[in-house]
Chains A and B, each alone.
Chain A
Amino acid sequence: MTVTERQQLAYVDAQAAEGRVNVELETDEGMVINLGPQHPATHGTLRITAKLDGEQVVWADVVPGYMHRGYEKLTEVRTYPQITTLVNRIDWLGSFANEVPFILAAERLMEIEAPPRARHIRTILFEMARIANIVLFLGDLGVQLGAVTPAFYAFRDREHVLDQIEAVTGGRFHPNFDRIGGLRDDLPKGWVADTKAVMARIRDFCDEVEALLFGNEIFQARTRGVGVIPPEVALSYGLTGANLRATGVDWDLRRDGDVGLAHREVDWRVWTHPDGDSFARCWVRLQETREATGIVDQLCDGLPGGPIMAKVPRIIKVPAGEAYVATENPLGVTGYYLVSKGDLGPFRVKIRSASFSNVSIVPWLLRGVYVPDIITILASLYFILGDIDR
């Protein structure tokens, strides 16, 4: 029997590997483990390198960029109406919410205001994008913590929201529906009644998840006190959205901002939680989903009549100038800094996406936690890869 060179190499390599593993176990060096870019917990291609001492994390680092698609650069070679198609794909679970701040920024430069009906429908779709997004978060939370079943309920009930979005816009995920000066179309017949039924369903789903997950002892043991963020740290890292509100900072651009959406015309409240741990983040999101269904219901009731499109020239040229508009998107504050030189397309667009800032706190949070807590923290911080890498 002859030993091939390949077998020899394999043997040498195996010996070396064994030696290396031994060294890593026996010295104080610890073991560096790669979570991602291909890993079930990163829902996408986020890479986290963590040095472990047994099951404990010594340090961890986030390596984003595996999904960079260059949207900021691509916008420079597109016309304004084309760009909504692109920005749709940043936070792909709540796509409509991405279009809104960009369109609002362009409208601000053009000094156009959308008619009240368009503003209302915009807000309805904006909140429905939030619901579609966070419902999936609530389901995925279970999967990350080892309970597979809630995910299926989430997918089941999210589908109804997506159906309603599809009925208006024609697209389940990528509506491409917002236009400078208004919306592409009006609502279809009977849509309002259907939507209210769906919202009731989502409220049932929230109750179901609250009973299944939030009331579960193991879930509480896994999330309470894990990944605690103090408010000042959250602010210094630029955390926004539910992650910030879960630290007790009462700040929501839907209420505190000055953008032209209809949130201030309805009755709702901003939820905060004093703890700042993983449980607080999940809990705030759950309450926000409930609140969002209420917003949609009220807006559907008080839908004003009139046109859905303001007077806008056929060929859109945005006058020279700069504008920054940020809205409270499902993942946090998403802002578009738009620089125009008066052309058909923007000169430069800087996108401030919520997940990028939210993930930046991960290395700070992961020091000293156990391996299972990495997953809890990542799941509760809730990021979308497209929103990190753009």
Chain B
Amino acid sequence: MTASLLAIELAYWQQTVLRSVGVLAAVLLLAGTLVYVFLFKMMSFMQSRLGPMEAGPYGSMQLLAEVGKWIQKEDIIPWRADRRLFAMAPYVVVLAVFLILAAVPFGPDAWFTDLDVGIFYVLAVSSISVLGILLAGWASANKYSLLGGLRAAGQLIAYELPMVLAVVGVVIQAGTLNMQGIVAAQADGEIFGFSGIGNPYIITQFVGFFIFLVSMQAELTQAPFDMPIAESELVSGYMTEYSGMRFLLFFIAEFASVGAFSAVAATLFLGGWALPGMDLDADYMNVVGPIVLLVKIMLVSFVVFWVRFTYPRFREDQLQQLAWKFLIPLSLVNILATMALKVAW
């Protein structure tokens, strides 16, 4: 496929550069939007306060002020830290987000990379951030960081499994691992003969969607699964020793990964960039598609942050029990049911 939207034929390398810049912009803009809309404003309204109001109209420039502040701050590396790993960790975490978002399609031609095994790839690279978190926890030479890093590792491994199993249901129904294929399958699908809105898999795979949301919350280490950070227990967990630019990177990664996972959830369960009643192959979908997907991302992120600002956090053993004793059996049942129904219809 070529970028036919502007009727310009681009060489492969030109497309590659464009797409790389695009994914960078997508990650940063998404993170910024989520921070402003949810962390600054929605959280404030939920907590009966106004949030930032001074920087720019309605506090909209607050983020720039914060980023400026963080960049200016001294880059402190603890005396006993493993300097190389310490410096590397935030980049590994951010990298994972880029890699996830790179595989999410935004329109018929608006994609950064279109892999045949897209969802498989997404689930694989989403675990890279664990490495970064473990590195950060270990390299900080701080006991709180170490506890936080190990908690994160245990938690992310435990919730990787239900997440993958939840996606299996979608893959069975769509019959493809390709993200574009999954979007197309949802747009072309029908629910018991009714094809007016296609078949967004949230309707047939609602159990999968629920499991995906819960494991997503855990993978993102958002409350009620925020034990790796747990500010009242571990100060800041694996981020305790980070400051300045490196902390900013962790911060961007935290919110960008909410966006990235929301994008994956929106693609898998909410129909992706497609909108019912709109032509899938039309050129204008390259413009409308990203907007549609963004709206869906915001919807899923809203749920993530809504839960985050409402619930207290689990204890480590309760979290493991939830994953192994409830979510995994449930997702296995879901897969069996999906298979049975797929064969029956």
Contact = CB atoms under 8 A, between A and B. Distances in A.
Interface of A: 10, 13-14, 16-18, 21, 31, 33, 39-41, 52, 55, 142-149, 152-153, 156, 212-213, 216, 218-219, 221-222, 370-375
Interface string B307-340: 0011111111110000000000000000000000
B313 A145 contact: yes
A109 B312 CA distance: 50
B16 interface: no
Contacts of B151: 55
A371 B233 contact: yes
Contacts of B313: 145-147, 218, 222, 372
B319 to A, nearest CB: 10
Interface stretch (B42-50, B107-115, B244-252, B279-287): B42-50
Interface string B140-156: 01011011000100000
B230 A372 contact: yes
B223 A222 contact: no
A83 B83 CA distance: 54
Contacts of B345: none
A63 B210 CA distance: 46
B314 A40 contact: no
Contacts of A148: 47, 309
B171 interface: no
A40 B237 CA distance: 12
B304 interface: no
A149 B309 CA distance: 6
A17 to B, nearest CB: 4
Contact of B49 (A147, A152, A374): A152
B231 interface: yes
Contact of A222 (B147, B310, B312): B312
A156 B227 CA distance: 27
Interface of B: 46-49, 79-83, 141, 143-144, 146-147, 151, 223-224, 226-227, 230-235, 309-318
Give the most central of A39, A145, A219, A372: most B CB within 10 Å. Answer: A372
A216 B48 contact: no
B232 A143 contact: yes
A10 B311 CA distance: 42
Contacts, number: 99
Contact of B312 (A17, A213, A374): A213
Contacts of A33: 143-144, 147
Contacts of B233: 41, 371-372, 374-375
Contacts of B48: 152-153, 156
Contacts of A218: 224, 311-314, 318
A149 B308 CA distance: 10
B223 A146 contact: yes
Contact of B316 (A17, A39, A153, A372): A372
23 contacts: A14-B141, A17-B80, A40-B235, A52-B147, A55-B147, A55-B316, A142-B312, A145-B312, A146-B232, A146-B313, A147-B310, A147-B311, A148-B309, A149-B309, A152-B48, A213-B312, A216-B311, A221-B314, A370-B317, A371-B147, A371-B316, A372-B315, A374-B233
A14 B316 contact: no
Contact of B232 (A17, A52, A219, A375): A375
A219 B234 CA distance: 19
Given A41-B233, A55-B316, A371-B147, A149 B310 contact: yes
Given A14-B82, A147-B223, A153-B48, A222 B231 contact: no
A57 to B, nearest CB: 12
Given A14-B80, A14-B81, A14-B141, A147 B232 contact: no
A322 to B, nearest CB: 43
Contacts of B141: 14, 17-18, 21
B310 A41 contact: no
B222 to A, nearest CB: 10
A348 B314 CA distance: 48
A148 B314 CA distance: 14
Nearest to A32: B143
A221 B318 contact: yes
Contacts of B224: 146, 218
A149 B316 CA distance: 22
B261 to A, nearest CB: 20
A219 B82 contact: no
Nearest to B225: A146
Contacts of A222: 312-315, 318
Nearest to A220: B312
A219 B310 CA distance: 11
Contact of B230 (A13, A146, A149): A146
A152 B49 CA distance: 8
Nearest to B227: A372
A14 B311 CA distance: 39
B310 A370 contact: no
Contacts of A55: 147, 151, 316
Given A146-B230, A221-B314, 14 more contacts: A14-B81, A18-B80, A39-B235, A40-B231, A52-B147, A55-B151, A147-B311, A156-B48, A222-B313, A371-B233, A372-B230, A372-B315, A373-B315, A375-B233
Contacts of B315: 221-222, 370, 372-373
Contacts of A372: 227, 230, 233, 313, 315-316
A329 to B, nearest CB: 25
Nearest to B234: A371
B312 A216 contact: yes
Contacts of A156: 48
Contact of A370 (B143, B311, B316): B316
Contacts of B46: 149
Contacts of A145: 232, 312-313
A174 B235 CA distance: 31
B307 to A, nearest CB: 11
Contacts of B230: 146, 372
Contacts of A40: 231-232, 235
